[in-house]
Amino acid sequence: MPDQQNRVTNRIDLQVDLSYEVAEPGADFVFNIHAARTPSQTLSAERLVLNQALEPQTYTDPNTGNRYMRLRARPGALKVSYAVCVDMTHCREQPSQIDEVPICDLPPQVMGYIYPSRCCQSDRLLTLATAEFGMLKPGYGRVQAIRDWVQGHVTFKSNSSNSSTSAIDTLIERVGVCRDFAHLMVALCRAVNIPARFATGTDYGADPALGPPDFQAYVEVFLGGRRYILDPSGTAIPMGFVRFGTGRDAADVAFATIFGSVKSQAPVVRANAIEDASLGIVLPHLCQDALSTDVGTVISSGDRSGA
């Protein structure tokens, strides 16, 4: 169990504004734009404003903590404005101290994250991943090697992919956005039996040359009993990511899934970091440690009956 000294706390003031033009006869939306509530991510001053008088349904997935909001919008403009103040506590650990978990010891709840998914076809990458990473010492270092390989083999390029683009496509075409980097890293981790999931939230610290602040996709891997966050796109400061959702891949945690005929404007995202020395809150910064937002509680290892 990491001690207090290894924790770092950040605060992000977040504002997300979405704007759509909905055609007749209206459209259903499922949003995943609420910050997750977890033991290490606490929320205050949360506020959601809709320009249409609607009663959205919300749902928190008990497995992931993802908060979904569903609504049926009427034709015309739909504006969704979400704001929240997020305090995040990260555990920092020495990379060299973090081992992989053998398959036979993986908690059942993470087993699903070594299987292939829509955009992370790890089943086709076993030979490649074994050739590239199979000889490396298991542990966080191997995950870093995968992250670095993805960064080294893929070039960031806006609008170079779409919602059907998969890890296989990115591996071949070698361009993508953060979503594509994350899919490829997830697929490669799974191909060497490291549970990995796709995470979404908001970006922090990216080079403005890459575009305005935006949603961000990154990766959570399961090592040594907890999940660690990594940013294969290499464009940002992971300590400042606010987490919205986690899932198998982007198909699970689109920030908006739309059923109907709708024109979308680019989302407007503002994420301001707050520093408050009196509370021990520091600005997010790049660091060499491994970062986890997961308290690392013991996960039950299954029921006991042998059939």
Q: Which residues bind a copy of itself (CB under 8 A)?
A: 28, 30, 34, 46-48, 55-61, 63, 67-72, 82, 102-104, 108, 111-112, 115-118, 121, 123-125, 127-128, 131, 153, 155, 163-164, 168, 171-175, 193, 248, 251-252, 257, 259, 301-307
172 vs 209 by CB, closer to a copy of itself: 172
61 vs 289 by CB, closer to a copy of itself: 61
Q: How far is the CB of 162 from a copy of itself (least distance, A)?
A: 10
Residue 13: exposed, middle, or buried by beta-carbon count in 10 A (0-12, 13-18, 19+)? middle
Q: How far is the CB of 35 from a copy of itself (least distance, A)?
A: 10
Q: How far is the CB of 285 from a copy of itself (least distance, A)?
A: 30
1 vs 45 by CB, closer to a copy of itself: 45
Q: Element (H or E) spanning 184, and its range?
A: helix 178-191
117 vs 200 by CB, closer to a copy of itself: 117
153 vs 285 by CB, closer to a copy of itself: 153
Token pair recorded at residue 219: 């990766």
- Contact (Cβ atoms closer than 8 angstroms) between residue 115 and residue 108: no
145 vs 281 by CB, closer to a copy of itself: 145
List, in sequence order, every beta strand (DSSP E) within 134-267: 155-156, 175-176, 196-202, 215-223, 226-230, 242-247, 256-259, 262-264
Q: How far is the CB of 92 from a copy of itself (least distance, A)?
A: 31
131 vs 298 by CB, closer to a copy of itself: 131
Helix (H, G, I), strand (E, B) or coil at 101: coil
| CB environment 115-135: b (16+ within 10 A), e (fewer) | ebbebbbbeebeeebeebbee
Residue 142 identity: R
Q: Which residues contact 249 (CB under 8 A, 6 or more apart)?
A: 117, 118, 119, 120, 183, 186, 198
Q: How far is the CB of 230 from a copy of itself (least distance, A)?
A: 22
111-114, Cβ contacts within 8 angstroms, sequence gap of 24 or more: 111/195, 112/248, 113/190, 113/195, 113/196, 113/197, 113/222, 113/248, 114/190, 114/193, 114/194, 114/195, 114/196
